[in-house]
Structure formats: structure tokens, C-alpha cells
């Protein structure tokens, strides 16, 4: 009877852990992808904004503006 008082488990009964371990908690967090799509949209949007800014800088240059103007003039005079 001394074993029962010390918290021993009776024969045939399996004790299960009811409090999740740190590992199972971490795995549960890794499986949870609740905000993943939103984060991906933010990254894609920021990349698009950066690319648009780069295009604006390139197209505002005098050299590129001259090339585009000449291209449009040539296209309008050929037809």
C-alpha cells in the first residue's frame, strides 16, 4: 500500500500526459498557417511596388525618354 500512496499507477492502467509538452506545442504552431496567405500577399505586393518604383526611375531618365519618343514617332510615321 505504500506504493499507492506514493502515486504509483495500479497494474493495467496507463498514465497519459494531459499537459502538452514544449515539442508538441511547437509542432502545433508550425502546422498552423492561419496568416501565411496574408503574409505572402504582403511580400508580393511589396515586390510589385519596388519593381514599379524602379520602372518609374528608369523611364524618367532622359535617354530612355528619347528612345521611347523616337520609337513612337517611327511607329506613327511608318503607317
Can you give the three-state secondary structure of the chain, one letter per residue? CHHHHCCCCCCCCCCCCCCCCHHHHHHHHHHCCCCHHHHHHHHHHHHHHHHHHHHHHHHCCHHHHHHHHHHHHHHHHHC
pTM of the model: 0.43
Per-residue pLDDT of the chain (79 residues; tens, 9 = 90+): 555 555 566 676 666 665 567 777 777 777 766 666 788 899 999 999 999 999 999 888 999 989 999 999 999 997 5
Amino acid at each position: 500500500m505504500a506504493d499507492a500512496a506514493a502515486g504509483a499507477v495500479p497494474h493495467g492502467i496507463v498514465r497519459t500526459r494531459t499537459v502538452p509538452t514544449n515539442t508538441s506545442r511547437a509542432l502545433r504552431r508550425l502546422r498552423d498557417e492561419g496568416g501565411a496567405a496574408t503574409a505572402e500577399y504582403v511580400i508580393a505586393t511589396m515586390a510589385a511596388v519596388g519593381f514599379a518604383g524602379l520602372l518609374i526611375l528608369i523611364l524618367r531618365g532622359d535617354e530612355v525618354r528619347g528612345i521611347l519618343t523616337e520609337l513612337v514617332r517611327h511607329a506613327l510615321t511608318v503607317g
